[in-house]
Structures are given as structure tokens and as C-alpha cells.
Amino acid sequence: MPFEIGVMTFGELTEDPVTGSLPSPRQRVRETIEQAQVADQAGLDVFGVGEHHRTDFVGSAPAILLAAAAEKTERIKLTSSVTVLSSEDPVRVWEQFATIDLLSAGRAEIIAGRGSYTESFPLFGYDLKDYADLFREKLDLLLQIRDRNPLTWSGSFRAPLVEADIAPRADGGTIPIWVGVGGSAASAISTGQLGLPMALALLLGPLTFHEQTVQLYRAAAAKAGHDTYALPISINAHGFVGRTSQGARDTMYPYFARGMMDNNHQRGVGLRLPRAAFDAQSSPGAGLLAGSPQELIDKLLTYHELYGITRAIIQMGFGGMPQKQHLEAIELLAAEVAPVVRREVAQSERSMT
């Protein structure tokens, strides 16, 4: 399958570490749609919006942002990154994304996740002690909604469905549903058993962080009778590309460090990231996709060699990077990184057949 490269955003509202200004929610929403539009025009493959339910993010309703993006784009795939399925109603998730699929002529996707940020659980009346069971049940329901209509179904966390007519249906009859996995062995195994695409999340750490995750996923998929090498795997990681290695890191660092402090899992109790630690995380053996075009090419090809990934989604501009620099990086990624990676991966796969 062709290698895909895309970008994603959480739509975070972060005080600019250089100017001290704070973007308004309206500004950040409009910038998110412009990012999708530029990514599409530049030739990237995927645009994603994450879900968070706090005042320091504008992405509490990714489906609405993606629907707006559908009207401003023509080719790019539009995905949640992720949908916190454990605290969502799968019926409503399907209805929303099927509508996006109709608006976009078949470009909608869902990355379903348990949620590493957990503010949505009490907000919507769920108990964190049911964290794993909620996800299992709701993923089962979402998959059944995708595969059949009308639907009869029952579970523990919502009212049963009896010959329920769930509409609209997707433009092409189906919507790709990926599962976001952050490194949990149980998550990797269950995703493999279901034969679903796996979206690996890597915040910080070594480039090899997910080796066991992928091994467990493929072993579980094979045991369940799935063609393991036909199953897509993506890497979702923070990054930034600039003309030079030093320039890219100098641009990314102050914003990324502020975002890690201000927009992390607990506000005001974020992760302090000294510059030396950031530079180490940007080195060839670490996970951040930050550097020159050639450095990103090399690291993406290494990810492909290690994990057999078929897609990379880069979280650009985290921490409120100014829009001008953010859009320039999107265009540079599309112009100088994506074509080379696609070509090299295609050549590598042809040589193996």
C-alpha cells in the first residue's frame, strides 16, 4: 500500500513564549482549518484533529472541525486523532463521521482511542474504573454499526439497540477505523485480534520504543487468522521540519517546551523539558521527527524499516507555534520529505516482491 504522510493538531491554546500573546479560540479554530487546506493543497495525505475537553484546547468537537475542513479541501483524508471512544456514544460517532464522509466524498476516518487525557470521563458521567471495559464495549458497537444496518445489540454501558436504523451510511459503504495505541501490550493484542489498523502514539522516548508493541500486534493478528502484513500501522509523533537541522530545532523548542508545560495532562503540572533533553529526543535514535528534510526522511525510513509502518502523522506546531511558521513547515514536509519517503518505500517494497 502507498506510504502516507500527514499532519495533526490538538488545537491547543498556549501563551507564545516569545511574544507573551495568547490566541483566541476563534483564531485557533480558523487556523486549524487553514492548516488542513494548506496540507491538502501541498499534497499531504492525511489531516487529523485530536479531542480534548478543556479550555486550553479548541478540539472538543473534532467532527465539527473536520466537517469544516471537508468543505475547504479536495483530496486529503480527514481523521480524528483520536476520538476518545470510551466517553463517546458510538452511534453518535458513526453519524458524525458518516456525515463528514458524505461531505468529503469518502475521505473520513476514525482513530478510536481510550484517551490519555481523562477529563472527558467525569464530564460525561463515566467512571475511570471502567476505563478498559468502556472502550472494549464501545469499539465493538462502533464496528458493528459500520458493518451492518439495521442493528440489534446490547451491552453494559448504554441502552440496547433493537433493529436500530443508524444513518447516514458512509459514502463508500464503510469508514476506516484505526485504534490508537500508546504502548499497552493489552491494547496491541486486542487490536491485532480484531484485525484493525494500529496508530502508534509516541510522545518522547527511543525510536525503538514500540518494537514489542508491533510484535505483539502482529502475533495476535496472525493467531486470529489475519494477514499481518496487509494491516496498516502508523506512527503518530511530534515534529517539525525546517531548512536546516539547527533552525528546525531552534524554532520548535520554545513552543514545544511551553506546550509540554502548559497543555500536558495536568495543567500547571506539566513536563519541564530542558533544551539538552529536547535535542537528545531529536537525535537519530530518538522518536521526535524534528530537523531538516533529510533528517526527517532518514528517520521516517527507519520507522518503516523497524515497524513496517505505512503512514506517519506528525503533530506539527504543538505549543502554539505561529501560523506562518507552521504553514511553511507543512509545505516543506509536502515538497521535500513526502515525495522522497513515498518513493524510497515503494522501491524497497518492490525489491522484496
For the entire predicted model, the pTM comes to 0.96
Domain that holds residue 14: 4-352
pLDDT at 160: 97
pLDDT at 352: 73
Is 264 strand, coil or helix?
A: coil
Backbone angles phi, psi at 203, to 5 degrees: -85, -65
Distance of alpha carbon 296 from alpha carbon 180, whole angstroms: 22
Total domains in the chain come to 1
- Contact (CB, 8 A) for 251 and 320: no
- Contact (CB, 8 A) for 115 and 86: yes
pLDDT at 268: 52
- Contact (CB, 8 A) for 129 and 157: no
Give DSSP secondary structure letters for 111-155. EEE--SS-THHHHTT--GGGHHHHHHHHHHHHHHHHH-SSEEE--
Residue linked to cell 525489491: 351
Nearest 10 degrees: Cα torsion 327, 48, 253, 323:
30
In sequence order, which residues have a C-beta less than 8 Å from that of residue 11 and are 6 or more positions away?
A: 28, 29, 32, 49, 50, 52, 57, 58, 59, 65
In sequence order, which residues have a C-beta less than 8 Å from that of residue 142 and are 6 or more positions away?
A: 85, 90, 93, 94, 110, 112, 177
pLDDT at 264: 80
Q: Which residue stretches of the chain have pLDDT < 70? A: 265-269, 353
| CA–centroid distance for 281 within its chain | 20
Residue 5: its H or E element: strand 4-9
Is 1 strand, coil or helix?
A: coil
pLDDT at 353: 67
CATH number of residue 66's parent domain: 3.20.20.30
